[in-house]
Chain A
Amino acid sequence: MKSKNYAKFEFPAKSCNEAFARSCVAAFAAQLDPTIDELGDIKTSVSEAVTNAVVHAYPSTLGTIYLKLRILGEDTIEITVKDRGKGIEDVKMAMEPLFTTGGDDRSGMGFTIMDSFMDKMKVTSRPGKGTSVVMCRRIRAKNELE
């Protein structure tokens, strides 16, 4: 699908950039005039994806996270969060609710939340090459909400 607008960001995989990434996406999504709840869902999903990259992708180096945003059609935002880190051995297992390799600092709910808060979510990963999470959310027109 042809995109009507896009933005790209890249930043080091530092935890202070989790809030930065959420703000970038919120500012870009504003052109679709989302409700506060829709924006909350999108920000939460971005936070989960970026946090995963910060926590897991680069265990021994400070790598880069790539954030790509596109508007698809009239009303859909597509968000891609990509890293060139260590990758995920078993994506299916990583997506299981409560699965985590991050100890009790992590809830293991990240993918579950992305999956339920966004309309579509796809994770592709190659061990040693990196991980990419692509998520879409359609913003409903205000007259659809009643």
Chain B
Amino acid sequence: MKIFSAYKEGRLTLYLHGELDHHGVKNSMDLIDKLIDEFMPKDCIVELSKLNFMDSSGIALILKIHKRMNQRGGRAWVENADSQPLRVIDASGIDRIMKVGLSKEVMK
């Protein structure tokens, strides 16, 4: 998995590309922590349009980002998940604690 990031006006977007499994997650959280520490964003968007595959390891990663942002008084949400990652997200129920949707409809 590759992570690309963009920061603009208090909003950090993390673009996750490729396959997000336990192997991919292992080294990603350090990088994401670093980005959050560096930019101190108000909002963090997990952008999944280029993510081909995700399993429950991805849920753990997204929950961690959600928790980090909450601790700092910020918000995190998930955008543009394709059908397979979306099925895992639905099965996990994380959409009950954070917003999941298309970039058009999620909060602006």
Contact = CB atoms under 8 A, between A and B. Distances in A.
Dominant SS among interface residues on chain A = helix
A85 interface: no
Contacts of B57: 51, 105-107
A107 B63 contact: yes
B35 interface: no
Residue with the highest number of chain A CB atoms closer than 10 Å, among B19, B23, B55, B60? B55
A19 B55 CA distance: 11
A70 B22 CA distance: 26
A40 B21 CA distance: 13
Q: How large is the interface on A (under 10, 10 to 19, 20 to 34, 35 or more residues)?
A: 20 to 34
B59 A107 contact: yes
Contact of B91 (A18, A105, A112): A112
A109 B56 contact: yes
Nearest to B59: A107
B16 to A, nearest CB: 15
